[in-house]
Amino acid sequence: MISMIQFSDVLAWIHQLLSSCMAPWLVFLIELVVASVAAVVALLVCVIIMVYMERKVAGHMQLRHGPNRVGWHGVCQLFADIIKLLLKECFTPTRADKLLFVVAPVLSLCVSLLALAPISWGPGLVLWNTNIGVLFVTAISSMGVIGILMAGWSSNNKYALMGAMRSGAQIVSYELSAGLSIVAIVALAGTLNTGGIIESQANGWWILKGHLPAFFAFIIYIIASTAECNRAPFDLAEAESELTAGYHTEYSGMQFGIFYLNEYINMGVVSMVASTLFLGGWQPFYLPFDFGWAHAFNDIMALKFMETWPAWISWVSLAWPLVWFFGKLFLIIFFMMWFRWTFPRLRIDQLLKLEWKYLLPLSIVNLVIIALIVVLGLHF
Amino acid sequence: MKALYNYLKEVAFAFVSLANGLLLTLKYFVTPWKSIITENYPDNRANPSVADEFAGEVILIHDENNEHKCTACTLCQLACPNNSIQIISKQVETEDGKKKKVLDKWVYHLEMCTFCKQCIDACPQDAIKMTNSYELSCFDRSTLTKILNQPGSKLKEKPKVTAKVQE
Amino acid sequence: MENPIVTPSELKTEEFVVNIGPQHPATHGVLRVEATLDGEIIKDVLPHLGYIHRGIEKMTESLGYKQSIFLTSRMDYLSAHINNHVCALAIEKAAQIEVPARAKAIRIIMDELQRLTSHELWWGSCAMDIGAVTPFFLAFRDRERILELFEQNTGNRLTMSYIIPGGVMNDVRPDFVPKLKALIKSIKEYRKEYDQLITGNFIFQHRTQGIGILSKEQAISLGCTGPTARASGLSCDIRKLYPYDGYEKLDFKEVIDYGCDNWARYVVRMEEMNQSIHIIEQLLDNLPTGDYRTKLKGVLKLPAGEYYQRVESARGELGVYIVSDGGAKPYRMKFRTPCYSNLGAVKPISVGMKIADLMANMATIDLVIPDMDR
Ligand code: SF4
Ligand code: SF4
């Protein structure tokens, strides 16, 4: 990225400005709060777009218009729904475990928001620049199942319990192959830091540079993460035609809304991780070849032509990595939606068979091949 | 070796079959103007896509002189399986002093009608027909009981010529 | 020394009962299935009926024969024409009414169109029970075209009361044949999409193949009919065995599969759709002209006696048994509905399977709840 103004410059400038008039602990506190609120708000905006997108994608794939009543092409439908959910009573069944029942949605929301911390949104734009970023995300995302189990157990409903049990089995299994395909890229990049992984793809995304094994790892990751998010065709936890609504059968009002939100946040986080690891995060597309027009293409992608422009225009280039980041995010999300609205659901034993008999051995073999590639230095 | 070949073949088949389905949904997704079949219902009230033959509410046909053809023979009432028709007739005296049964009230209970067309089929005079109305819901049940003969309407006289022939 | 390991008796698991229905997305109506589960495995299935019992058989005893026909549309609301047809045939047989050739042809066309709508809807809901939602909308799109044709020609979309003793209620519109030809062409196109989206789908095939085995012996002893039994290798197509209204003159295949599983039932129904199209095509080009009905007296009276008539409905053998005492109202009218007998197959084919398979089984047997309860 050879743009003139970087996010790190802007952030450093803000930091200096604050430090010049405040005590260091106050600066830290303000920065912490502002940064986290900004990240959560950015994610919520993404979720709003995702929900709208899901409805439109589902609608158009099913020969319908999708929402088209509230606002222009139904863009305000979600807000109407949120108001409805907020106004509805949060009903708690009589024999339910009251405390856990209330805690479960909040807990799963917290867990999925936590996974947001080490995500790198743009160059230098990262909430928690830690050297164990990817490890942290994998660790946190496996905790999501606790909220689901809690919801299923505390509802005192057989459907909910079965949904939660299925979800537990499913997430624990698919964690493995998701983790192994993440490890494959970590081995290629040589770092666990999300920013570092993205920077290592400046000369080509891993999905291109890492030969076929990286591509396999990508496919395995997409399958496994779809399963981890409980999305169709792996939506056994809420299998509508079998368990009515699965683990959130008994939830209503905003408690249900939180589970709904949670599903989309999970999707967002998973897609962010996928784009970070395989598609170069906020890096623009780069051809890892060495001939005439490939160079020209890469120069355009890196906005080289902007260097000669006046400084005030080059501010625009700040948005360039964000465009790529969100573009990839929504591309992966579109794929997940596309799968959901096309495929039938798997059965629980087929689901576990797919993981333990096919994906897990495949990803282990894949990891070994990638390790060989790294050791022999075969990647670009 | 054979097993490996079969295994790979199965995996390839799986991907091809899944891709096939994905292509179909993608086709629908990218060509919404062609594929969307739903109607914007309350917006297209002006020209709804309901066939003229659609059997909706029963009406008594009145012509421009506010005359209908119902002779109050109650055949439709007998034919109706749901008792949704009540023919209330009265005796009137004609000019030549004869007593005659004429229609007083053609009561139609829309809430009990199943649109089975038995009454239309039974009517010997073709006095009633079904309109293609479909927005029949309402807030007050009593508005569903209707009197089909318009106030002041009377029986259409048979043309004199045929009457003479019959005599 | 005390054994620290827990003995199996302490780890004992319990079976538990889950009520699937009467309000459940998979039962497509108000059927309550009491499933005893051991984890995900089904141990026992006990269907409970009666949630939509309307007493249609008893109601016919206080209505005339003509009026009873409109009630039969409400039994199996997905094949209303066929239900009307069986009643009309029974009454015609009893009263010895001659039906014009045109009426017969129209009846068969309507029956087969009805079978197409029914199978299309079944295809959508079957896919939905297995977890794919999009096919449901495709099915509705295609069914809608046929329903539009029904609406234009019979006046109603779902409960037609169109086939009556003596013929049909009214003649078809002049543009019926060209419209139907265009329709048949588009249905053939759509059939390809069905295969592309669901039939060829790897997940769907694995969800259905080898699941829900109903052997031929079981099918016979449970009284299964229709595609459910034909998928077990039992030849039971009434259109072939006891032809009515000119089916004997038409060329079509009785679709039989020996797979006995959900996949076989799926394949049989899909192939039956092709056969229905084939039947309609034969009739379209030489639709007889002439009367569409024989005028009957206002009040129909059947000579005293017992009459039975059966037809092939979209789900199996539909029979009506009329006992007449010579009056204007039936003494007894009993319907032998296919879904009621086919429901019996749910238990033997589901026990030992996963709960998700129960949904697939109920979907491929194609249960219509009002048809069972009447
Ligand atoms: S359509 Fe049927 S139910 Fe309605 S009034 Fe006529 S006969 Fe009665
Ligand atoms: S509407 Fe027809 S059948 Fe009914 S009373 Fe009048 S003339 Fe008779």
Selected residue with higher pLDDT from C142 and A295: C142
Tokens representing C97 are 């009414």
Residue B28 domain-assigned (yes or no) = yes
pLDDT for residue A309: 67
Selected residue with higher pLDDT from A200 and C151: C151
Tokens representing B52 are 């003229």
Residue C48 domain-assigned (yes or no) = no
Tell me the nearest-neighbour CA distance from C270 into chain A, angstroms: 18
Residue C371 domain-assigned (yes or no) = no
**Touching chains, C (3+ CB pairs < 8 A):** A, B
Is there a single domain that holds both residue B14 and residue B95? no
pLDDT for residue A165: 85
* Rounded Cα distance, A208 and A211, in Å: 6
Mean predicted confidence (pLDDT) in B58-72 = 81
Residue C39 domain-assigned (yes or no) = no
* Rounded Cα distance, A267 and C336, in Å: 51
* Rounded Cα distance, A75 and A68, in Å: 8
**Total number of domains constituting chain C:** 1
Contacts of residue A307, defined as CB under 8 A and 6 or more positions apart, other chains included, come to: A2, A4, A314
Is there a single domain that holds both residue B13 and residue B90? no
Instruction: Give the tens place of pLDDT for each residue, A15-69.
Output: 788 878 877 788 888 878 888 888 888 888 888 888 888 888 888 888 888 888 8
CATH number at residue C309: 1.10.645.10
Is there a single domain that holds both residue B75 and residue B23? no
Tokens representing B122 are 């039974």
Q: Band the pLDDT of B19: cuts 50, 70, 90.
A: confident
Selected residue with higher pLDDT from C36 and A241: C36
Which ligand lies nearest to the CA atom of residue B58 in the structure?
1
Residue C309 domain-assigned (yes or no) = yes
Is there a single domain that holds both residue B19 and residue B95? no
Instruction: Give the tens place of pLDDT for each residue, A91-123.
Output: 888 888 888 888 888 888 888 888 888 887 777
Q: Do you find a cis peptide bond into A213, omega within 30 degrees of 0?
A: no
Nearest-10 Cα torsion for A201, A207, A210, A211: -150
Tell me the nearest-neighbour CA distance from C182 into chain B, angstroms: 17
Residue C215 domain-assigned (yes or no) = yes
pLDDT for residue B3: 84
Burial zone of A326 (CB within 10 Å; 0-12 exposed, 13-18 middle, 19+ buried): buried
- Is C17 an interface residue toward B (CB < 8 Å)? no
CA of C165 to the centre of ligand 1 (A): 18
Is there a single domain that holds both residue B12 and residue B82? no
Residue B43 domain-assigned (yes or no) = no
Q: Which amino acid is at A98?
A: K
pLDDT for residue B165: 47
Predicted TM-score (pTM) of the model is 0.85
Res. B162: pLDDT tops 70: no
Residue C42 domain-assigned (yes or no) = no
CATH number at residue B83: 3.30.70.3270
pLDDT for residue B167: 43
* Rounded Cα distance, B92 and B83, in Å: 26
Percent of chain B with pLDDT over 70: 93
Is there a single domain that holds both residue B72 and residue B119? yes
Contact B17 C67 (CB under 8 A): no
Contact C203 A242 (CB under 8 A): no
Q: Which residues of B5-42 are buried (b: 16+ CB within 10 A; e: fewer)?
A: eeeeeeeeebeebbebbbebbeebbeebeebbbbeeee
For Cα atoms C197, C199, C205, give the angle at the middle one, nearest 5 degrees.
115
CA of B112 to the centre of ligand 2 (A): 18
Instruction: Give the tens place of pLDDT for each residue, B92-144.
Output: 777 777 777 777 888 888 888 888 888 888 888 888 888 888 888 888 888 88
Contact C18 A346 (CB under 8 A): no
- Is C175 an interface residue toward B (CB < 8 Å)? no
pLDDT for residue A204: 72
Instruction: Give the tens place of pLDDT for each residue, A301-320.
Output: 766 666 666 666 666 777 77
Closest chain A CA to residue B8: A358
Is there a single domain that holds both residue B23 and residue B63? no
Instruction: Give the tens place of pLDDT for each residue, A167-184.
Output: 888 888 888 888 888 888
Residue B46 burial (CB count, 10 A): 5
Q: Are strands A120-122 and A125-126 parallel, antiparallel or unpaired?
A: antiparallel
Give residue C188's region: left, alpha or beta (phi > 0; psi -120 to 50): alpha
Closest chain A CA to residue B7: A358
CA of B79 to the centre of ligand 2 (A): 10
Cβ distance B36 to A63 under 8 Å?
yes
Closest chain B CA to residue A60: B29
Res. A240: pLDDT tops 80: no
Residue C26 domain-assigned (yes or no) = no
- Is B20 an interface residue toward C (CB < 8 Å)? yes
Low-confidence ranges of chain C (pLDDT < 50): 1
Residue B23 domain-assigned (yes or no) = yes
Mutate to test the pocket of ligand 1, among B57, B84, B129, B147 (most ligand atoms within 8 A of CB): B84
* Residue B153 CB less than 6 A away from ligand 1: no
Residue C21 domain-assigned (yes or no) = no
Comparing CB atoms, the residue among B21, B29, B40 nearest residue A60 is B29
**Total number of domains constituting chain B:** 2
Res. A345: pLDDT tops 70: yes
Residue B162 domain-assigned (yes or no) = no
Instruction: Give the tens place of pLDDT for each residue, C275-294.
Output: 888 888 888 888 888 888 88
Instruction: Give the tens place of pLDDT for each residue, A357-367.
Output: 888 888 888 88
Domain containing residue C263? 53-366
Res. A284: pLDDT tops 80: no
Domain containing residue B17? 2-35
pLDDT for residue B164: 47
